[in-house]
Structure 1
Amino acid sequence: MPRRSLLRALGAVGAGTMGLALAGCGVPAAYVEPGDRAGRDRSGRERALDFANWPLYVDTDDEDSSKRPTLDAFTERTGISVRYTEEINDNDEFFGKISPALMNHQETGRDLIVVSDWMAARFVRLGWVQEMDRDRQPNVARYLDPQLRHPAFDEGRRHSVPWQSGITGIAYNRAKLGREIRSTEDLWAADLRGKVTLLSGLDESFALLMQGNGVDITGWTADDFHAVCDQVEKLVKQKHIRRFTGNDYIKDLSTGDVLACQAYSGDVIQLQADNPDIEFVVPEEGAELWAESLMIPNLAGHKRNAEALVDHYYRPEVAAELAAWVNYVCPVPAARDVLADSDDEELAALAEDPLIFPDDAMRTRLAIARDITADERRDFAKRWNSIVGL
């Protein structure tokens, strides 16, 4: 199952309401001041680190799935061993798992984690992650995609570094539909009634729909949000939208039960391998560029080792190897030249895939949405979840 499609909407309200519930129970504020975030760094005497990631989100050896070539190369080069766990299956579930330690100023047992940027925004707001030392990360400073450098929640990417990126756009079966889809508005055409699905997760779905209405998602407003909700409510009543989905849109699109849907770029690359009639569109009005990012939790015992691993993955040759395996938008554009120079035809072809390395024309239509603030989340999630049936 493609990794990104594991994200579900159920937790979208959970972590957002957690702080409100705690405040109502007399629990001390969860925010951690900058001076209380660093722990005693044992990197010098303990050449190790603990890295928590999502399933299927790092390359594995074709003949031995227990081997992870890019991680093994890091250990061989630096002497730092990596205890790698695939324990993150849902952003909010993981938030709930480690939040008791973070709010009580305790170690989490993890030196490096990967969460979606909308969740990363919460960690930054709460002061639960440490600022990285860019002097120790020359590859990040040099090669990080300029379009991903300045998210609203973490200006300058001081606390976060993209692990992989991707695009939320539209996937459709051109052969069965019999025409092209060029814009989000095309989803509402009469011949698609009952054959369209949208993503159920608030954080995964709203930006593309706003862009379809001509909204600049880098600075959207509450009025923009409620306009989308009004629109979607009407489409639900008209039975135009078949249903709201998590990962199961992949099956619906493959079987033909659905002809067009909101989708993630990385999923579609894998679907196209089995069905070349499946196409992915960045609508004329634009699509959302998102990232899932590496972060170092407070009191991590191996901060310098973690910073070294982050920088390892920003070596173009390492980024190219990872991109060839996971098929998401690579946050290191320089990796494209590495793949293009490969003697392997399949690898060289990936360098020309705009869903891994977006071209300039596509990039002009991509934007990073501002995140939902803590004050907004409860009411927004309540309304959205009532529409999608969560």
Structure 2
Amino acid sequence: MRTPLKPLTRRGLLTGTLGSAALLAAGGALAGCGTKAATQTEEGCKSEDLSATEKKLAFANWPQYLDADEKDESKRPTLDAFFKKTGIQVTYTEDINDNNEFFGKVQNQLAACQSTGRDVMVLTDWMASRMIRLGWIQKLDKAKLPNVEANLLPSLRNRAFDSDNQLAIPWQSGLACLAYNAKVTKEIRTVDELLTRPDLKGKVTALSEMRDTMGLLLQSNGHDPSNFTTAQFDDALSKLKKAVDSKQIRKFTGNDYAPDLAKGDIAACIAWSGDVVQLGFEDEKIKFVAPESGVMLWSDNMLVPNRASHKANAEEMINHYYDPAVAAQLAAYVNYICPVKGAQAEMEKIDPDLAKNPLIFPDEAMLSKSRAFMALDEKQEREYESKFQQVIGA
């Protein structure tokens, strides 16, 4: 079932209350997160699992990132089905509005090996990587995740920060891509066109999310954003700076580019796939473009933090969402890339048009052109964010 364009998508919230600039402002505190005192080990921070006697689970997620009943949004059909099947009562909260903000909520407890009160939390790749690096995430039991083992997309397996697929299981994924409004401009195919074409001058926006914008620019220069050098980053940043200095780029945005693109106030932009899907429901003139050089692939991941006391229940829920029929029901609501093999066939029964949508079910050709941004350590993160912020004027 198609859903109307939402006022603020989950991906747009990445640049909400605390975006990249706040990361830099909090640099001293975050740098301390990597110190020996804050880092935990599996042996040093034991977690007791009470799942055998307590049929409950606390699940923290982003707003508008779980299917809701059209007539009663307090009802969550896929979670209700999980309860009926297992008897496990899920307390669902939408208390993640920004990766950095959420990190601030839980860092003191996790650094001290204390419970956060959450059994599952959904965080973006780079934040998942940070928490894993700090030793704050429990390993999952693969034997309890048969659906994940069978159905996780190959493109999302064996990622640099979770090579064994035991720590971070994708909830949904998405692409950073290009988009344009065909009512006000002709077709675009490349990042270089976006940054240099005279007819687009002043009518272009790029994303303030460093990994997405810089990932696309790295690809446009022939570099691999999942494995690059500082010199290659600086080369791509120089290209971006030229587009800023020439006023080719009007501004850098979160997902607030979406209404401007829909109205034709901007002609083209670097965009997120979930936004383009939703805008396309309203206006077929909004076009998605996978640049010839490639697209950026990101995921939001289900993580079980240390001292979560219902790990087995969490594993049962994670496995539930890797049932293709359940995954299709979720994807029909949220409109991001479904990470589950077999869900496309199930989507045919719900909405054949969505089943054909390459932004929800990318084909192998598109996935082969996708890359995830390289996992950064704290020093690299501060260095690259600082350089990027200087160029975009944040």
Which residue does 2:94 correspond to in 1? 86
Write the distance in 1 (CA, Å) between the matches of 2:47 and 2:212.
Answer: 34
Q: Deviations over 1:75-97 (max 9, x none)?
A: 11000000000000000000011
Structure-1 separation of matches of 2:109 and 2:26: 15
Show the counterpart of 2:44: 36
- 1:359 maps to 363
Cα drift, residue 15 of structure 1: 6.3
1:163 corresponds to:
171
Deviations 1:307-364 (A, max 9, x none): 1110000001000100111110000021011122x1x5xx122111111111122222
Q: Structure 2 counterpart of 1:376, which letter?
A: Q
Residue 370 of structure 1 pairs with residue 374 of structure 2: yes
Amino acid of the residue matched to residue 238 of structure 1?
A: S
Residue of structure 1 equivalent to 2:3: none
Cα distance in 2 for partners of 1:382, 1:198 equals 17
What's the offset of the Cα at 1:2?
Answer: 1.6
| CA distance in 1: counterparts of 2:170 and 2:83, whole angstroms | 21
Residue 252 in structure 1 maps to residue 260 in structure 2 = yes
Indicate yes or no: 2:187 matched with 1:180. yes
2:293 alignment partner in structure 1: 285
Query: Partner of 2:214 in structure 1?
Result: 206
Report the 3-state secondary structure (helix = DSSP H, G, I; strand = E; otherwise coil) of the residue aligned with 1:236: helix
Give the letter for the 2:319 counterpart: D
Please tell me the root mean square deviation across aligned C-alpha atoms, in Å. Answer: 1.5
Q: 1:28/1:148 Cα in 2 relative to 1: closer, same or farther (>3 Å)?
A: closer
Aligned-pair distance for 1:375?
Answer: 2.1
CA drift at 1:243: 0.4
Judged with a 3 Å threshold, the aligned counterparts in structure 2 of structure 1 residues 14 and 56 are, in CA distance, closer, same or farther, namely farther
Q: Does 1:303 align with 2:303?
A: no
Which residue number corresponds to residue 336 of structure 1?
A: 344
Shift of 1:28: 5.2
Q: 1:349 aligns with which of 349, 353, 356?
A: 353
Q: Which moved more, 1:9-18 or 1:368-377?
A: 9-18
Q: Who is 1:266 aligned against? A: 274
CA distance in 2 between partners of 1:354 and 1:15 (Å): 38
Of the three residues 325, 329, 333, the one matched with 1:321 is: 329
Task: Say if 2:25 is the partner of 1:18.
Answer: no
Q: How does 1:129-144 map to 2 (within 5 A)?
A: 129-144=137-152
Contact 1:38 1:300 in 2 (8 A): no
Contact preservation (8 Å) 1:12, 1:92: yes
Q: Distance in 1 between matches of 2:21 and 2:69?
A: 34
Is the CA contact 2:116–2:308 (under 8 Å) kept in the aligned structure 1?
yes
Q: Is the 8 A contact 1:60 1:68 kept in 2?
A: yes
Measured against aligned partners, the alpha-carbon deviations of 1:184-224 in whole angstroms (never above 9, x if no partner) come to 11102111110111111223321111111111122111111
Identity of aligned residues (%): 45
Residue 19 of structure 1, CA deviation: 3.9
CA distance in 2, matches of 1:16, 1:140: 36
Q: Note the 1:24-103 alignment, pairs <5 A.
A: 29-103=37-111
Residue pair 1:128, 1:297 contacting (<8 A) in 2 also: yes
Counterpart of 2:293 in 1: which secondary structure? Answer: coil
Could you give the per-residue CA deviations for residues 237-284 of structure 1, whole angstroms, max 9, x where no partner exists? 111110000121112211211111111111111001111100111101
Match for residue 115 of structure 1 among 108, 123, 143: 123
Q: Partners of 1:322 and 1:180 in 2: how far apart?
A: 32
Using structure 2 for the length normalisation, give the TM-score. 0.94
Closer, same or farther: CA 127–249 of 1 in aligned 2, 3 Å = same
> How far apart, CA to CA, are the structure 1 residues paired with 2:362 and 2:24?
32
Secondary structure at 1:114 match in 2:
strand
Question: Which residue of 243, 246, 254 maps to 1:238?
Answer: 246
Instruction: State which drifts further: 87-96 or 370-379.
Output: 370-379
Deviation at 1:22, TM superposition (A): 6.3
Residue 29 (structure 1) shift: 2.5
What is the rounded CA distance, in whole Å, between the counterparts of 2:91 and 2:315 in structure 1?
15
Q: How much does 1:234 deviate?
A: 1.7
Distance 2:373 2:49 in 1: 35
Q: Is the 8 A contact 2:202 2:250 kept in 1?
A: yes
Hey, what's the Cα distance between the residues in 2 that align with 1:159 and 1:296?
8
Give the distance between the partners of 1:204 and 1:11, measured in 2 at CA: 18
Which string of whole-angstrom CA distances, capped at 9 and with x for unpartnered residues, describes residues 91-121 of structure 1?
0000011000000111010000000001111
Alpha-carbon distance in 1 for matches of 2:257, 2:273: 13
Q: What amino acid sits opposite 1:10 in the alignment?
A: A
1:156 CA drift (Å): 2.3
Asked if structure 2 preserves the Cα contact closer than 8 Å seen for 1:37 and 1:130, the reply is: no
Read off the aligned partner of 1:175 and give its amino acid letter.
K
Q: Which runs of 5+ in 1 are unaligned?
A: none
CA distance in 1, matches of 2:306, 2:128: 13
Q: Secondary structure at the match of 1:113?
A: strand
Alignment partner of 1:254: what SS? helix
Q: 1:135 to 1:21 in 2, by over 3 A?
A: closer
Q: Distance in 2 between matches of 1:73 and 1:122?
A: 33
**Structure 1 counterpart of 2:10, which letter?**
R
CA distance in 1, matches of 2:30, 2:331: 36
Q: Which runs of 5+ in 2 are unaligned?
A: 1-7
